[in-house]
Structure 1
Amino acid sequence: MTRQILVLAACSLLCICMLPSQVWAADSDKPHKKMTLREKADAGREASKKTEQEQLEKAREAAQGMSEREQEILERQQYGEWEQAQKEKSQQQFNDRLSREEKYLKQAQETAKQERKIEKKD
């Protein structure tokens, strides 16, 4: 049994030695030491600041979007008021034209009566 363990260990050692050096280089780039409490606290603060900045940016974007939507609504309301004013103006012009037509019709009728009277006098 010990012989089997020795053979297995030797085979494992050979396999490990044959691994490409790039794998070892990649592993050496990663720090394997434990973080101290101070380092953990600093990392937590940085993560918190980053999260806070992201949330602030999202809030700014949302506020700007809301401001733009409010402006669009105000413009539509102002356009509606302008449209209503134009309708009222055109209705007033129509009423004025109608009253002028009635006035001209009345004058024409009176003129026609006067002409008849003149014809009767001749």
Structure 2
Amino acid sequence: MAKSARNGPYVCGIDAALDVVGGKWKGLILWELDWHGTRRFAELRRGVPGVSEKMLTQHLREMEQDGLVNRVVHAEVPPRVEYSLTEHGQALNAALQPLGEWGKRRIAREGREMVEHPDAPTMPRP
């Protein structure tokens, strides 16, 4: 079996971290699951505007493989699938918060506009 390019070898810790969080949508998925907790697929898709079903599925599978996301399938008809962050995913989200603050300062410094997510908190989370 061929080794995935997502499994290193890594040059440094940042390289390994970016490998896990790389991709346009993973940061938003982490934020959505952190802010709202357990979400069904359709709720996640609505919470990450612009993501296609294919990309959301792909990123969720990768995040599950990386131990960031729990996927629970309930034996119902139709099946109900729920996603939530693991402890490892919560730790990654916390580690990304300073990067998010840096990004906000960059947006302000360059005079760009930031589109607020409809569910974004108006105050920092405790």
TM-score, with length taken from structure 2: 0.22
TM-score, with length taken from structure 1: 0.23
Q: Which has the larger radius of gyration?
A: 1
